[in-house]
Structure 1
Amino acid sequence: MQKYYITIDWMEEKGKIRLGISVGDLNGIGCEVALKTFEDSRMLDFCTPVLFASSKSMAAQKNALGLNVTYHGIQKATEAVDGKINVVNIWKEVPELEFGKSTKEGGAYAIRSLKAAVKALRDNEIDVLVTAPINKNNIQAEDFKFPGHTDYLAKELEGESLMFMITDGLKVGLLTDHVAVKDVAQAITPQLIRKKVRTVMNSLKADFAIRKPKIAILGINPHSGDNGLIGKEDEEVLKPTIKLLNDEGNLVFGPYSADSFFGSGSYTDFDAVLAAYHDQGLIPFKTLSFGKGVNFTAGLNKVRTSPDHGTAYEIAGQGKADHSSFKEAVFAAINIFRNRQEYEELTANPLRKYKKKAERF
């Protein structure tokens, strides 16, 4: 379980966070894990959930899954009521449910939900966004040609996006994410490394309240190139860039050989790890934290998290889905939003924190 510190004092001062949810593929487990999370009414003490779908679609999901939840239908997110599960009606029809199947209709409704949720996030009608899983194949359309959530959010929101997999004790970012392995080495440039390090550094400070972050960078080649014997990218690109970052006062170390870095526990010496490519980072992350991990899009001006699993068609509609990761994504979004607000207030007025403490005595 990740460690979150959402205090009553903070909620009384700031008000409840309005947490938007895009429901993902209706034929997958997205609606199930979202509804199961808030089936526990205690979750409503932490935030006000706002699902972007329709009341009729939620009724169909609830009945098919045998869930004991009630919800409040609204027409826009600003009408959300605290203490209730709110559903923004963004379509009137009732899409046919075909649990476990990848259908064009399932992808189309997933994108309608995502677009409505992102618009509400951009317009400050919700504070944070948690996205349920989509299918990267059936979402493709004339007006949506993105490999996934992260790329779409990078276009719609401000900032430099970074896929950041997080859990208590382990945070893994990627230098390259949805890039073919054959193109990875060429894609990693000094400019890219510096940009990603900057994004991770800023996120660790603002989103996770870490004052002086330490970052490890994994090598591109086996054994980090063995001094140039197995590829020259680590010697010619990674090492000089890491030295330059260190000269600038950043605590960045590496490149480390990826094969032993996680198994040896070396990752525990750092606040975050930057992997060279997708599977180099995500395989160890999911092995160590599957079911508890969260996918956080760092670097944007808005907070978005997601569970660390996909649509899980193989168990969709059977009531078997574990909602642990979705619940962690909810808590992560709330905590990051709170940390970010406090960081912005502190950097704007460094004395404010100490003044507030003095007022208590």
Structure 2
Amino acid sequence: MDENRKIKLGISIGDLNGIGCEVALKTFQDSRMLDFCTPIFFASSKTIAAQTKALHMDMRYNGIQEASKAIDGKLNVVNVWKEIPNLQFGEATEEAGSYAIKSLKAAVEALKSGDIDVLVTAPINKNNIQSDDFKFPGHTDYLAEELEGESLMFMVTDGLKVGLLTDHLAVKDAPAAINPILIRTKVRTIEKSLTMDFGVRSPKIALLGINPHSGDNGTIGKEDEEVLKPVIKEMSDAGHFVFGPYAADSFFGSDAYKNFDAILAAYHDQGLIPFKTLSFGNGVNYTAGLNKVRTSPDHGTAYEIAGKGEADHSSFKEAVFSAIRIFRNRTEYAELTENVLQKQRTRR
């Protein structure tokens, strides 16, 4: 890949009544960011104008009708709709949810067609996005259906990477959802992502136990003994560097996580509570395993500070840089793999 080519970075605006637009706009208020990528917001010029006015921001942008017309060196806005949505900062409205999905769908179509290279999604409200034509608990599940591959919710920073066996699932349903096929799939997805997206050779992965103290040899639940341990042994015997299950309550506090390239948690809060505690503001939510790159900040809509100009855009900015790095790593990996295959074909 040409190192000088600007990566076209699509941005879905999320919930207009939250802090999504604010953190995205603040990221590109620094004109130096335009040296790294060509940002393309999926909304409308009037919508962005309303946001910047409400937030007392002075921003210049280029209105376009399709992402393929984006201009390097400018902040571009694809006019997905013409009307101006009502702004009710801090309120979870049905209208805001519908525009969040319009933005997301338009951005994903551009991603699939190649009009943008990567996608960064601003936070949505998982309740007000629900409708007759959108019945997904969040971005990850929607992207898993729209894009090719095996999706994995992967929370990443330079020093900590946490994947989830189950993500947006009620805690009471998580143990029953964890089975050998799911474990093998998620481990292989993490391995592939670490190698292809992050340049890790022979990745080492730790699995956290499902029950307290990993079940205490079956005393506190049998899932760890009967489901996790056999699969870990099987994969380890097959040459995978997979270890565990480790008791989740002491794993992060003891710094044991530093011995591994990634951790696979059994359910949402088991992985995200320590991740956000250790890296909040710098963490990135990456949907690994798909044929396209999507990242997002590690926070939600933050209605309580929406419209006040107080939102910290550090995580969104890091999501932008992560998307760029992953795209370049993935491109380089594909080129190296093709070169190896070409040499093998030549030798034949």
Shorter-chain TM-score range: over 0.9
Pairwise CA distance, 1:105? 0.4
Determine whether 1:62 maps to 2:58: no
**1:189 matched residue in structure 2:** 179
**1:27 matched residue in structure 2:** 17
Matches within 5 A, 1:45-84: 45-84=35-74
Residue correspondences, number: 343
The 3-state SS of whatever aligns with 1:73 is: strand
Greater Cα offset, 72-81 or 228-237: 228-237
1:124 pairs with one of 88, 110, 114: 114
CA distance in 2, matches of 1:134, 1:295: 13
The 3-state SS of whatever aligns with 1:11 is: coil
Pairwise CA distance, 1:350? 3.1
Pairwise CA distance, 1:351? 9.1
2:286 pairs with one of 296, 299, 307: 296
2:3 pairs with one of 6, 11, 24: 11
Counterpart residue type for residue 47 of structure 1: C
TM-score, normalised to structure 1's length? 0.94
Give % identity.
Answer: 75
CA distance in 2, matches of 1:163, 1:351: 31
Pairwise CA distance, 1:68? 2.2
The 3-state SS of whatever aligns with 2:185 is: helix
What are structure 2's unaligned runs of at least 5 residues? 344-348
Counterpart residue type for residue 222 of structure 1: P
Counterpart residue type for residue 240 of structure 1: P
Counterpart residue type for residue 325 of structure 2: N
CA distance in 1, matches of 2:81, 2:249: 48
Pairwise CA distance, 1:218? 0.2
Pairwise CA distance, 1:10? 5.4
Matches within 5 A, 1:147-162: 147-162=137-152
What are structure 1's unaligned runs of at least 5 residues? 1-8, 354-361
The 3-state SS of whatever aligns with 1:119 is: helix
Pairwise CA distance, 1:228? 1.0
TM-score, normalised to structure 2's length? 0.97
**1:238 matched residue in structure 2:** 228
Pairwise CA distance, 1:181? 1.2
CA distance in 1, matches of 2:86, 2:222: 54
**2:346 matched residue in structure 1:** none
| Cα-to-partner distance string for 1:169-192 (whole Å, 9 max, x where unaligned) | 000000011111111111110111
Aligned residues of 1:346 and 1:352 also touching (Cα < 8 A): no
1:253 pairs with one of 243, 250, 253: 243
The 3-state SS of whatever aligns with 2:95 is: helix
CA distance in 1, matches of 2:73, 2:323: 18
CA distance in 2, matches of 1:97, 1:68: 18
Matches within 5 A, 1:1-361: 11-12=3-4, 15-350=5-340
CA distance in 2, matches of 1:30, 1:98: 14
